[in-house]
Amino acid sequence: MEDNDIATRAPESDAQEKPQEPPAGQSVFPGDTIAQQGPSMGEHCTTDRPTPSGEKPTGDLTKLGGIECYVTKPTDYPHSPSKLLLMLTGGTGVKSTNNQLQADKYAAEGYLVVMPDQFDNDPAPNSVDMTEISQEVSWLESVKLRTAEGIKSFMIDMWLARHTPEKVLPLLHKVIESAKEEYADAVANGGGIYGIGYCFGAKYILMLAAELPDTVAWGQATPKDEEQGTVEKKPVLRAGAVAHPTMTTMEDLEAVKAPVYIAAVKDDPMFSEDDVLTPGRRVMETNKVEHEIQVFSGVPHGFAVLGDYEDSKIKHSQAQAFGQMLGWIQSH
């Protein structure tokens, strides 16, 4: 692990309506600040790398709780016991060949993998078609539409405004409840559900590994009248592992209660070390939450998502991150 820095290891213990642009200093997620979140999404969150040559997905697209999911199973299931793994992707979504192949890799290690369409058939825009820019957004042209990059950034901001916790979490809960029934044997064998998340999906794995007020756990706001009281909803996941989270705040890490592993990227503007990672690590230590954070240097945000790179260092780090994430959930 000479290329990487182990930061810490704690001891065992909507509608398609035009969204309003967030006010200055505020993110598309209520309560998050720009300083906390950094840039919204990176190129590697919204665009797949070349698919490894000769590999084809082996799972199937099906529906759980009315939500489309990619489900992939060990070759000997159900004759041999398996464990249930929820995998959440970056912006490229459930129909990405690379994401499906990544799920297959976990299935090959003995996990029954459920990868839901957390975007409800609306994956992140990864290219800009000028015909998609309507007159309805002309009021922002002077600010957001000066360059092609500005247009793409604006479209991603609009996309993020459609996929907030209030939309994503209820969808995930539908899938989870259905999977508990459909694959009760795998849930029982693993003593619960495990979670893997990349980029956008990492935030939601952390939320599912957290103890949250019941309203927040389902994507709703905390009651303004604190005297009403809130019931704390226990973590959905037995353990989770995530890589290069986006849209994640220190408060997300503060709420975590289940064991988590985080593969971070050094100097990642989408997962700030000063504003999120370091204070989040300290609060998990204070809360005695079992965790491990590994910081990878010399790699881009999104490096851990399956896809081909020419740079041998990135390839090595990608394989290492997969091994670390797999090892974490195997050990819990």
Q: What is the pLDDT of residues 162-171, one digit of tens each?
A: 878 989 999 9
The torsion of the CA quartet 327, 328, 329, 332, rounded to 10 degrees, works out to 110
Q: What is the pLDDT of residue 330?
A: 97
Q: What is the pLDDT of residue 101?
A: 96
Strand order in the sheet with 60-64: 4-9, 291-296, 260-265, 237-243, 193-198, 83-88, 111-116, 67-72, 60-64
Q: What is the pLDDT of residue 18?
A: 36
Q: What is the pLDDT of residue 33?
A: 32
Burial of 23 (0-12, 13-18, 19+ CB in 10 A): exposed
* Element spanning 4, H or E: strand 4-9
Q: What is the pLDDT of residue 159?
A: 77
Q: What is the pLDDT of residue 164?
A: 84
Number of helical H runs and strand E runs in the chain: 12, 11
Q: What is the pLDDT of residue 122?
A: 83
Q: Is 94:121 a contact under the CB 8 Å cutoff? A: no
Task: Collect the ranges in the chain with pLDDT lower than 70.
Answer: 1-45, 126-152, 222-230
Q: What is the pLDDT of residue 23?
A: 42
DSSP class of residue 274 equals I
Q: Pairing state of beta strands 111-116 and 67-72?
A: antiparallel
Q: What is the pLDDT of residue 94?
A: 93
Domains of the chain: 4-330 (3.40.50.1820)
Residues in the chain, total: 332
DSSP bridge pairs for 33: 26
Cβ neighbours of 286 (radius 10 Å): 10
